[in-house]
């Protein structure tokens, strides 16, 4: 029999846990014993493997997804006076990276079903200052790249993919991060694969690759000759060694995430007031998050459901409770319109645990608690 309101009676299921094991441990020990802790051979090997995995020619590893985005924008020449179109429904780093360059983020509302940029709303936001579109593949679902790419080509705009939640996600055999001009990934511990902290940039353009390496390393090609102002955005060998092992497991991780998601979809369909994730045809969603909507037709409010699940020993997450344009930090950033779809999503979304190590028993427990509300 289930003990009510007693978290200690059963193992708490958190919203996410990184999947690292003995392979990663051994790899880290090898680096520590080598004495080469900072960026060198492990980082270059990881970049090669990641580029190959995504189908990109080049990859540049960085210290985080945020620094990947910043470096990517700089390499494309985005700066003061430029506008970059992006989504208000994302982790704040997507928009912050635009601000770091001196450019202005111009928000475009999302599609209600996919949570990604709504391509039909983009063109009216293009001005003569618009330089790029920064699209996010939120929760692991690729954005509508066909439509967005068409708009970018037509208006001669650069296209940046924030693939920080979409490692291995695919549209018609093309991997996210290798579709636009440049792709950025994060390896934070909750992402589909991790290096602790870390990020990477993918591109097919050699000139961008060369620029990115300078931006990452204080504008230095020859030791202590600094031809431009850069940063220290390097990844360590320790992180890269973890990344090499994680990349080998990424497809297995993603398959497990998808199978967990399919279990939820099968079990939670037809519950009044619960809206399940939508996956367009020929899109592979890698379920960085399994995100439902809790609408006013559900028996509990979203906040009551969060509470109830927590009392039953189940962790959840709200990604994201406040869209970027409504953040205090953005109160002085000019917004040219309202974003009702993003605001509604922020009020309704709820993410359930979907990480690869979840057992069938745990999934069944989560489903049964929701069904019995």
Residues that bind ligand PLP (CB under 6 A): 64-66, 90-91, 93-94, 136, 162, 164-165, 186, 188, 199
- CB closer to ligand PLP, 24 vs 197: 197
Q: How many Cβ atoms are within 10 Å of 105's Cβ, its own excluded?
A: 23
Chain centroid to CA 348: 20
For residue 116, the minimal CB distance to ligand PLP (Å) is 11
Q: How far is the CB of 97 from ligand PLP (least distance, A)?
A: 8
DSSP result, 161-213 = EE-TT-TT-EETTEETTSSSSEEEEE--TTSSS--SS-EEEEES-HHHHHHHH
User: How buried is residue 89: exposed, middle or buried, by Cβ count under 10 Å (0-12/13-18/19+)?
Assistant: buried
Enter the DSSP assignment of 132.
E
Return the number of the residue (67 or 203) whose C-beta is nearest ligand PLP: 67
Q: In whole angstroms, how close is the CB of 11 to ligand PLP at the nearest point?
A: 27
* Closest C-alpha among 36, 56, 43 to residue 242: 43
Q: What minimum distance in Å lies between the beta carbon of 80 and ligand PLP?
A: 22
Nearest-CB residue to ligand PLP?
65
Minimum CB–partner distance for residue 206 and ligand PLP (Å): 25
What is the sign, positive or negative, of the torsion defined by CA atoms of 270, 275, 276, 278? positive
Q: Smallest gap, in angstroms, from Cβ of residue 319 to ligand PLP?
A: 8
**Is the CB of 212 or the CB of 274 nearer to ligand PLP?**
212
Question: Which candidate, 319, 36, 62, places its Cα nearest to that of 202?
Answer: 62
The DSSP bridge partners found for residue 183 are 161, 202
The residue (of 178 and 235) whose beta carbon lies closer to ligand PLP is 235
Cα dihedral 44, 45, 46, 49 sign = positive
Between 65 and 323, name the residue whose CB sits nearer to ligand PLP. 65
Q: Which is nearer to ligand PLP, 263 or 319 (CB)?
A: 319
């Amino acid at each position: 029999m289930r003990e009510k309101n007693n978290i200690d009676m059963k193992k708490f299921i958190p919203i996410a846990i990184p999947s690292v094991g003995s392979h990663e441990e051994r790899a880290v020990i090898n680096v520590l014993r080598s004495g080469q802790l900072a960026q060198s051979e492990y980082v270059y090997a990881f970049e090669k493997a990641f580029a190959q995995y995504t189908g990109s020619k080049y990859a540049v590893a960085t210290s985080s997804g945020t620094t990947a985005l910043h470096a990517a924008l700089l390499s494309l020449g985005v700066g003061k006076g430029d506008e970059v179109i992006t989504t208000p429904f994302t982790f704040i780093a997507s928009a912050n990276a635009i601000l770091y360059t001196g450019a202005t983020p111009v928000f475009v509302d999302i599609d209600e079903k996919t949570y990604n940029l709504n391509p039909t709303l983009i063109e009216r936001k293009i001005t003569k200052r618009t330089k790029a579109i920064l699209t996010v593949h939120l929760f692991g679902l690729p954005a509508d790249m066909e439509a967005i790419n068409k708009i970018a080509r037509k208006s001669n705009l650069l296209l940046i993919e924030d693939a920080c939640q979409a490692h291995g996600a695919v549209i018609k055999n093309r991997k996210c991060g290798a579709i636009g001009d440049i792709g950025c990934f994060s390896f934070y511990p909750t992402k589909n694969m991790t290096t602790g902290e870390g990020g990477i940039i993918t591109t097919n353009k050699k000139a961008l690759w060369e620029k990115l390496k300078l931006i990452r390393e204080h504008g230095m090609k020859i030791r202590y000759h600094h031809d431009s102002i850069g940063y220290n955005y390097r990844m360590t060998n320790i992180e890269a060694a973890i990344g090499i092992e994680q990349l080998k497991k990424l497809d297995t991780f993603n398959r497990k995430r998808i199978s967990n998601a399919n279990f939820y979809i099968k079990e939670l369909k037809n519950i009044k007031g619960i809206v399940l994730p939508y996956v367009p045809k020929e899109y592979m969603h890698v379920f960085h998050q399994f995100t439902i909507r809790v609408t006013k037709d559900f028996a509990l409010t979203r906040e009551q459901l969060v509470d109830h699940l927590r009392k039953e020993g189940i962790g959840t997450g709200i990604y994201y409770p406040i869209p970027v344009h409504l953040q205090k930090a953005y109160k002085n950033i000019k917004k040219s319109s309202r974003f009702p779809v993003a605001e509604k999503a922020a009020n309704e979304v709820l993410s359930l645990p979907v990480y690869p190590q979840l057992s069938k028993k745990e999934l069944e427990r989560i489903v049964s608690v929701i069904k019995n509300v």
